[in-house]
Amino acid sequence: MPKQPLIAADARPWRDATAKPFVRINNVTKKFADVAAVSDVSLEIYQGELFCLLGGSGSGKSTLLRMLAGFETPTAGTIEIDGQDMTAVPPYSRPVNMMFQSYALFPHMNVEQNIAYGLKRENIAATEVGQRVNELLALVKLAEYGKRKPHQLSGGQRQRVALARALAKRPKLLLLDEPLGALDKKLREETQFELVKIQETLGVTFIVVTHDQEEAMSLATRIGVMNQGEIAQIGEPTDIYEFPNSRFVANFIGSANMFEGVVTEDESDHITISSAEAGCDIYVDHGVDCAPEQRLWWAIRPEKIVLSRQRPDGATNVTRGLVDDIGYLGDTSVYQIVLDSGKQVRVTKANTRRGDLDAIKWDERVYLSWAGNAGSVLTA
């Protein structure tokens, strides 16, 4: 039995050791006056991927993107795109285009001129440029707006012009800096799927920088979580959410209830953690790379905990607590439970029944239970 949780089927290029990466970032460090914005990052991104760099502000994600575009030069390390070393290549010679967070549309040019700008830098016949611009306008559904100036467009329309302009030169790699950041929630959700659709039809490799984990989860084939200039974890959205590798990732992506404990039983097919905070022994039904008596953390997502009034039969992981607060969000309700140890625990429950009169209420004493594989054991 491997000392690792079992994860999704291994049928993707990043799971294939012989696949050749399209972008290869080797031990890249970027320092601004002694402060490392990016430190020793290595990353491989494959053709056709939609890779998300996810992190808070100051995590170095934007700096990494700007180094890919050529606006910053790495202090150390190399960046290869399509097998070519990009270190000494200026931005205007890279096979890369970028969509800026502020969109950076040229205010003195209309939509068509903005989109045609990159094409005019190459020696392409005017008729061909016009044709390509019309194609792109149709792609982003702005066919009627070619003659408008950027300031005459709404935020969503500007975002689409910026996308069309960045796609105009058929780049092999498109960099997107917070592409949906300036849009309101509803528009963002619509645009997310449109963006994925465009990416899939064109087959361009996308690298997206975002601070919005929901955006990253719904867009990405893989996510690279960044923290303080370093990559904390790389993986598919489900890996990152269900199998975080550290306390930082577990807390940063979604919410997690974290319990500190000591390993009391370390077998190849299960371990047991004794945690005073949890108020019970935590039984984990798979092997973990740890030693007996080791101090570690166990994290569980709010939706993986089941609440009940009666002690559930046959459950191994059960503890008790008092309902302190309930947040009704429509589709789900969030329960704040205070365990007997005083520890606050967050539990979410899908509201599957309308106007449920039998729902658990404030100040009720409840049992909390979870399956043996529901939580993640974290040693870092």
The Cα–Cα gap between 272 and 292 comes to 9
98 binds other proteins (CB under 8 A): yes
Nearer Cβ to other proteins, position 100 or 145? 100
Q: d(Cα 109, Cα 99) in Å, to the nearest integer?
A: 17
Using the minimum distance from each CB to other proteins, give the nearer residue, 107 or 314. 107
Please report, to the nearest 10 degrees, the dihedral formed by the alpha carbons of residues 185, 61, 11, 20 taken in order: 140
Interacting residues with other proteins between 117 and 146 (CB under 8 A) = 117-118, 121-122
Q: How many residues interact with other proteins (rule CB under 8 A)?
A: 27
Q: How far apart are CA 184 and CA 191, in angstroms?
A: 10
Least distance in angstroms from the C-beta of 30 to other proteins = 16
Q: How far is the CB of 101 from other proteins (least distance, A)?
A: 8
Residues numbered 162 to 191 that lie near other proteins (CB under 8 A) are: 165-166, 168-169
Q: Which is nearer to other proteins, 165 or 346 (CB)?
A: 165
Structure tokens at 231: 């990559």
What is the x/- site pattern for other proteins, positions 75-94, by CB under 8 A? ---------------xxxx-
Residue 304: count of CB within 10 angstroms of its CB: 18
CB of 195 to other proteins, least distance (A): 19
H/E element, 193: helix 185-202
106 binds other proteins (CB under 8 A): yes
269 binds other proteins (CB under 8 A): no
Piece of the chain touching other proteins by CB under 8 A; list 38-46, 68-76, 249-257, 342-350: 68-76
Contact residue for other proteins among 34, 151, 203, 361 (CB under 8 A): 151
Residue 108 is a binding residue for other proteins (CB under 8 A): yes
Structure-block tokens of residue 160: 């689409």
Choices 9-17, 54-62, 65-73, 313-321 (CB under 8 A): range interacting with other proteins: 65-73
Residues 6 or more apart whose CB falls under 8 angstroms from that of 216 comprise 52, 54, 208, 210, 223, 237
Answer for the pair 106, 183: CB distance below 8 angstroms, yes or no: no
Structure tokens at 143: 């066919």
* Contact status, residue 378 vs residue 233, Cβ threshold 8 Å: no
Distance of alpha carbon 25 from alpha carbon 240, whole angstroms: 21
Q: Is 374 in the site for other proteins (CB under 8 A)?
A: no
**Which residues contact other proteins by CB under 8 A?**
69-71, 90-93, 96-98, 100, 102, 104-108, 117-118, 121-122, 149, 151, 165-166, 168-169
